[in-house]
A and B are shown apart, each in its own frame.
Chain A
């Protein structure tokens, strides 16, 4: 079956760095997405990786290793507003999005 694993919850300190990991096992691969979702709101697109390597976008970076079925989202200089759920999703060979359950990130002052 298809499966995406990410930690349920993580806690970090304001100003620090946090890495949220995502491992996947899917039928084919056409890219991996990271979304941010604040409670009660729709997800917001953060990044899309289809090639191996690191993509940097401001305070957020996303890394992909297709051979390992692994990605991470790196958040630097954490701010209180970064407290949210972070969703990892993979586009499989049929172009279906397979969603992870999300990682709830709690930022403490």
Chain B
């Protein structure tokens, strides 16, 4: 069965609005969750590492004020895309692992900003 649950699977929003994506670890307590973004025909790009109870670690070039990450519990991390713009349209994927090794991915969220 699924190890990671990601919701929603797809979302369409208007430019300027905010969108929240949830990632839940179903089978084990995850101290670390990873958020990726994938543009069409490109490889996965790590956006940030989410650590339970502390601030997320963002990769270079990722705006932390635009992509808000909250990892309030051992089973839930959320990514909020604030003031979304069409260029934020992408496939967002979370993954869960033990320590620093991500192994299981959520099903992804396809975001379309109009």
Q: Residue B44 contacts which of A48, A87, A91 (CB distance < 8 angstroms)?
A: A87
Contact present for B43 and A97 (CB under 8 Å) = no
Contact present for A42 and B108 (CB under 8 Å) = yes
Q: A87-B44, A99-B44, A101-B42 are in contact. Are A42 and B105 (CB under 8 A)?
A: yes
Contact present for A91 and B101 (CB under 8 Å) = yes
Number of B residues contacting the other chain (C-beta, 8 Å)? Answer: 20
Chain A residues within an 8 Å CB radius of B106: 42
Least distance between A103 CB and chain B CB atoms (Å): 11
Q: A45-B104, A95-B99 are in contact. Are A40 and B110 (CB under 8 A)?
A: yes
Contact with B along A14-49 (1 / 0, CB 8 A): 000000000000000011000100001111110010
The main secondary structure of chain B at its interface with chain A is strand
The residue in chain A whose Cβ has the minimal distance to the Cβ of B105 is A42
Chain B residues within an 8 Å CB radius of A87: 43-44
Contact with B along A66-87 (1 / 0, CB 8 A): 0000000000000000000001
Least distance between B19 CB and chain A CB atoms (Å): 18
Give me 6 A-to-B residue pairs in the complex whose CB atoms sit less than 8 angstroms apart, sorted by A's number.
A40-B91, A41-B108, A42-B105, A42-B107, A42-B108, A44-B105
Per CB-CB distance, the 5 closest pairs between chain A and chain B, nearest first, are A95-B100, A42-B108, A42-B105, A101-B43, A99-B43
| Extra 5 A-B pairs, beta carbons < 8 Å, given A40-B91, A44-B105, A102-B43 | A41-B107, A42-B107, A43-B93, A96-B46, A99-B45
